[in-house]
Amino acid sequence: MKAAAATLCCLVLVLGAIVREGACSKPNVLFVVVDDLRPQLGCYGEDYMVTPNIDQLASKSVLFERAYVQFAVCSPSRTSFLTSRRPDTTHIFDLLTYFRNFTANFTTLPQHFKDNGYATQSVGKIFHPGIASNNTDDYPYSWSFPAWHGSTEKYMYKRCCPGSDGQLHKNAVCPVYNMSLVPEGTLPDLQTTEYSVQWLKDWAAKGTDQPFFLAMGFRKPHQPLRYPAKYLDLYPMSKISLAPNNFFPPYLPPVAWNPYASLRLNEDVMRLNVSWPYGPIPTDFQLKMRQSYSAATSYTDTQLGILLDTLDREGFADNTIISLIGDHGWSLGEHEEWCKFSNFDIAVRIPMIIHVPGVTSPKAPPGKTFPFIDPLEQTGRSGNANTDKSDQSHHSHTQEQGTKCDGGGDCRSAGGYVTQALVEAVDLFPTLSELAGLTVPPTCPPDDAQVALCSQGSSLVPLIKNLTEPSYNMTLAWKQAVFSQYDRPSYFPQQDSDGPRWFNVKIMGYSMRTAHHRYTEWVAYDVDTFTADWTKLYARELYLHEQDPEENWNMAEVTSQQDLVTQLSGQLRAGWRAALPKEL
């Protein structure tokens, strides 16, 4: 333990922190995962969003502009970043398979902290609950204490939206006007926030030296969009707009399409008679979904704000590393699509924010780092980008954060740092390990099923240092590409296209994002051996991000692009190992 603590001191010193003599202890970790949260946030330059607490966190953190998950659905994505292995290694493609039984006994991120003397606690949705995590959220392997869930999580897909007919319904859009009409009179994220707040208070009261790894998983803005209706005040319908590209991409191969079957199971969506499989959803309902997604995001921002405020008041803020991510993105009408379940940027790009006290922002006395900001009191800030921005502090902050600066200079004045380096969710495990002074899992060898502790990502600490330490000499060229994949049971959309069971997978779409392109190949996949047959190519997609950042125009079959296609195809097949950061 002593040796580990000494390692941490050295690392923190290297990171440029002011370490007071004798005040050296292992940092805590607050690991926040938000279900289906795309980077539609104030700090990501979306001015109409009212997310003051996430923005405040970002203003004291490094914000990763180009962060990607490895698979755009819950359990495959979460299993991937929690084990730091890619889906081709975890073999977790659906929501009903547990990696330890099915694949191998990998060491997880929280388990690594637990093995190194941390108290690890899961609250809410961190692992995909249920069979996917052995009905225990991987307790006791990953956690020191049984994982905690709010009692109202079980109503997620039940009928509990009061309708004008006096009956309860299962609706995708479900603002709660009267809390006493929902089961138990509360909501999952209210319960988990309350529990985490109490957990932090209890931990502070114990006065123990043991560091904690507290993982907090928020449920919203996952559909059904059930949240306190007061958040609708921030987003009047007159200010809501459709996705700028809410049209069907004309050259999209059918295998790339996700027919959003789970959204259609809601009664309010069913009533729309949306045509199978391409829709579209009527525009007034598109607007309602977009409005409720924004409102549910501000509701989650409030819960995060309460949690961070407690962390700060209880005196933990100056010694707690904070990581905040979404588990994947979400389409809100872009490409005429809904939900995740695809390889588009909109589905695989996530918000990723990492706060290191004393490194990404100066340490401050308790109560001064993350004071709660009530989104509902942020007047004059709602509406779209054309809205008058009377709150100057927010405006300037958003501008600073939205600035596409890479290298620290301009972003310093706002207190936060922004980088456009390409990063992946599998990078979190080695990053948090290094920041906390634990053994950094080495890069996995090619045959890594029997290696418990290794990583298929890269620690982001060099990027953090390059931003925060003026004299840091970056000797690495960062990743040239990041990788995601998605599976399909068939070439044409069918009922289970969004999420086939693993044994029904026939096609895998391997997708790669480089600085200027997204390139995808849909190839035959054999589930008996878990291997792709790259010679059986079903379809290709190429998007030129400089001209087409929304990924509307598939250029893969355009004659003039064939040299580029050949080059990107080689890079895709070479895979993630060939794209790792390299010494200059």
Ligand X SMILES: *[C@@H]1O[C@H](CO)[C@@H](O)[C@H](O)[C@H]1NC(C)=O
Query: Mind telling me the catalytic residues?
Result: 74, 128
* Cα 381 from Cα 49, distance rounded (Å): 8
Q: Which residues of 213-232 are buried (b: 16+ CB within 10 A; e: fewer)?
A: bbbbbbbbbbbbbbbbbebb
Based on CB atoms, which residue is closest to ligand X, 388 or 583?
583
Using CB under 6 A, pick the residue from 156, 474, 524, 558 that binds ligand X: 474
**Site for ligand X contains 463 (CB under 6 A):** yes
Based on CB atoms, which residue is closest to ligand X, 256 or 418?
418
Describe the crossing of helices 74-83 and 428-435 by its angle, rounded to 10 degrees: 40
Q: Which of residues 398-427 bind ligand X (CB under 6 A)?
A: 406-408, 419, 421
Based on CB atoms, which residue is closest to ligand X, 435 or 463?
463
DSSP assignment string, 151-164: GGGGGTTSS-EE-T
Q: Which of residues 181-210 bind ligand X (CB under 6 A)?
A: 181
Instruction: Give the binding range for ligand X (CB under 6 A) out of 120-128, 206-214, 374-382, 467-475.
Output: 467-475
Sheet containing 507-514: give its strands across: 481-488, 507-514, 517-526, 531-544
Based on CB atoms, which residue is closest to ligand X, 360 or 485?
360
Q: Which residues pair with 34 in a beta bridge?
A: 218, 326
Based on CB atoms, which residue is closest to ligand X, 59 or 133?
133
Contact predicate 357/318, CB 8 Å: yes
Site string for ligand X, 132-171 (x = CB under 6 A): --x-------------------------------------
Based on CB atoms, which residue is closest to ligand X, 13 or 477?
477
- Give the pair of three-digit tokens for residue 4: 């580990």
* Cα 251 from Cα 121, distance rounded (Å): 47
In the 8-state DSSP scheme, what is residue 366?
A: T
**Site for ligand X contains 473 (CB under 6 A):** yes
Q: Which residue is nearest to ligand X (CB)?
A: 407
Site string for ligand X, 475-494 (x = CB under 6 A): x--x----------------
* Cα 285 from Cα 272, distance rounded (Å): 9
Instruction: Give the binding range for ligand X (CB under 6 A) out of 55-63, 98-106, 353-361, 499-507.
Output: 98-106
Smallest Cα–Cα separation from 110: which of 125, 121, 96?
A: 121
> Residue length, the chain?
584
Using CB under 6 A, pick the residue from 4, 16, 24, 100 that binds ligand X: 100
Based on CB atoms, which residue is closest to ligand X, 104 or 364?
104
Instruction: Give the binding range for ligand X (CB under 6 A) out of 173-181, 437-445, 521-529, 554-562.
Output: 173-181
Number of residues that bind ligand X (CB under 6 A): 24
The least CB distance from residue 47 to ligand X, in Å, is 26
The least CB distance from residue 412 to ligand X, in Å, is 11
* Cα 342 from Cα 324, distance rounded (Å): 22
Rg of the chain in Å (alpha carbons): 23
* Ranges assigned E (strand) in 119-246: 119-124, 161-162, 168-169, 173-176, 212-218, 225-228
Smallest Cα–Cα separation from 360: which of 393, 325, 317, 326?
A: 317
**Site for ligand X contains 107 (CB under 6 A):** yes
The least CB distance from residue 355 to ligand X, in Å, is 18
In the 8-state DSSP scheme, what is residue 274?
A: P
List residues near ligand X by CB under 6 A: 98, 100-101, 105, 107, 131, 134, 178, 180-181, 272-273, 406-408, 419, 421, 452, 463, 466, 473-475, 478
